[in-house]
Structure 1
């Protein structure tokens, strides 16, 4: 069975950080949540069923205290991260293992943020047990926005809504796993309509 991965990240943010590209002193895009789905290509273009989920909470190191802005945006609170979060090196190693040998798709350049976090962990002397070279990362936002221009202003968690689709699962936008289901619903819908995923996805 042929599969690919869709993933999404939530990372530390503050009011205005997106507009300022995280340029204020001490502001880093430290991953707090990773969500991913392994999706089957199936025997027909409209299959694309979810065969496996991956989700992890991560404890940020440089800014261990979450901003009120981040908590309001994502619904992820400090107590939950302190209780359930794992060390960055552990989460990154596990996630890259999940991606091994797969095409790995994101709606935006989340692979850049992933790379930043791998670099910071290694600079701290932490071991990342798996690398990028065994997976093919691709930003599918340009493809998706070109085929369905109505999605151009939509974030990953609102793709289903922009396309007039049923809500894919319970949850809310800016939750990494929910956003993955939203991306997957958009892919399934567009492929069912005859679109082919970009070359190199599978």
Structure 2
């Protein structure tokens, strides 16, 4: 499915968890991609081009500048709530409902279980589907899928890798800082 006539801009940002590709439309931040080295970045830009029907341009728009500023503040430990407008067009249906609930209902420095999140969106039998929604999150870090953990206290999975999940949870004070 393409969404024609949408301008998509992108930029790379170095962060403590590695390079991130940030992409935005006129509506807001639309995509955050982990480990955005050359090959990963090219693949992400190609997927955005296919989805939006136009070649994304590398430039700094208002939304990208705001996202970069807020991510810098987040990683510095001075920002707890992102205010960047989000473009939810890369998420639909159940996944979008779950990601909205996660964004609005799980604040900085807290975690939630997959089952609890399923209950919150009115789908008590959908704990595994919540995990799938987390894995398809187009806006990780900003939409904090790293805050979703197993009900038994396990850390759970993470599309960016467990080391990044642990780093983000430590930054938010949920886990102790790694010793090395």
Superposition TM-score, scaled by structure 2 size: 0.25
The structure with the larger Rg is 1
Could you state the TM-score of these two structures normalised by the residue count of structure 1? 0.24
Instruction: Determine which structure has greater relative contact order: mean sequence separation of CA pairs < 8 Å that are 6+ residues apart, divided by chain length.
Output: 1
Bigger proportion of residues as strand: 1
